[in-house]
């Protein structure tokens, strides 16, 4: 398990080593925990009696019966709780493409899932999905990327609306991923390391669209058809929209949303 400690601001390592020497027992024995990350509340549980008993079982329980040692443990737990609580606001969890589990209080993108303390432990916060909220949330990133590739941001909005309805975690049955539904090969081709990272996904999808527009001499319909069915399918049918019902409907839907978003901007 990899822990993102880039946001840690306090080093508790020296404090714990001194406390261990004074109490005569290891407080975090055999637990591979980054001391700099211990200020986050889910790590506080390590110092609770429940986790200590689970980790050390009967042996540890016997070792903490001595009042002096028990007092040391309680002081450590209370001091961390009181001192560290102002250091965080919310806790987020993320599993990166390599499968590493990362916890942080400063998420870098929307792929991080917020956790909350419940009776069952730390569980993901489930919010009702809202494409309108996500549309607003990703609007600035879409506009920046559109400017970089000199494309209308309304067009990117239209593609994302049809592809994923602004769900950055969307995955199709065919394996397309993220906001602009990039296939793994396409994501790799355009340097997208994490397709569920909204900014990477938008950038990769837009670069791909720009390439398709160049390939088909700025014919938007053909570029959209290629985005859906693949460039080779368009080439196969003599640079015409392939006779696939899904692709033909896809082109119509994207263009419909594209024109709608442009009209809405005009007022």
Catalytic residues: 163
Largest Cα–Cα distance of the chain, in whole Å?
84
The tokens of 66 are what?
């001595």
Determine phi and psi for 211, rounding to 5 degrees: -65, -45
Q: CB of 138 within 8 A of CB of 166?
A: yes
The tokens of 107 are what?
């998420």
Q: How many residues does the chain have?
A: 267
Those residues whose C-beta lies under 8 Å from the C-beta of residue 104, and which sit 6 or more positions away, are: 4, 6, 7, 91, 92, 94, 112
SS3 108: coil
Residue where the block lists tokens 């919310």: 90
Instruction: Find the helix or strand (DSSP H, E) in which 101 lies.
Output: strand 101-104
Q: Find residue 92's DSSP bridge partners.
A: 104, 114
């Amino acid at each position: 398990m990899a822990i993102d400690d880039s946001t840690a601001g306090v080093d508790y390592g020296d404090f714990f080593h001194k406390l261990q020497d004074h109490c005569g027992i290891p407080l975090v024995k055999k637990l591979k925990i980054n001391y700099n990350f211990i200020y986050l509340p889910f790590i506080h549980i390590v110092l609770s009696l429940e986790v200590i008993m689970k980790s050390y079982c009967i042996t540890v329980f016997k070792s903490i019966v001595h009042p002096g040692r028990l007092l040391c443990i309680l002081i450590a737990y209370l001091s961390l709780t009181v001192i560290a609580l102002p250091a965080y606001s919310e806790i987020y969890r993320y599993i990166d493409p390599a499968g590493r589990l990362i916890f942080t209080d400063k998420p870098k993108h929307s792929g991080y899932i917020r956790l909350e303390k419940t009776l069952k432990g730390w569980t993901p916060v489930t919010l009702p999905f809202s494409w309108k909220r996500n549309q607003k949330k990703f609007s600035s990133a879409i506009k920046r990327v559109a400017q970089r590739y000199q494309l209308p941001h309304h067009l990117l909005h239209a593609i994302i609306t049809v592809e994923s309805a602004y769900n950055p975690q969307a995955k199709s049955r065919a394996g397309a991923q993220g906001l602009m539904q990039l296939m793994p090969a396409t994501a790799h081709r355009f340097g997208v390391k994490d397709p569920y990272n909204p900014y990477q996904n938008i950038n990769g999808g837009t670069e791909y669209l720009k390439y398709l527009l160049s390939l088909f001499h700025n014919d938007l319909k053909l570029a959209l058809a290629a985005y859906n069915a693949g460039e080779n399918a368009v080439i196969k049918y003599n640079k015409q929209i392939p006779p696939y019902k899904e692709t033909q409907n896809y082109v119509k839907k994207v263009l419909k949303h594209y024109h709608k978003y442009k009209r809405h901007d005009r007022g």
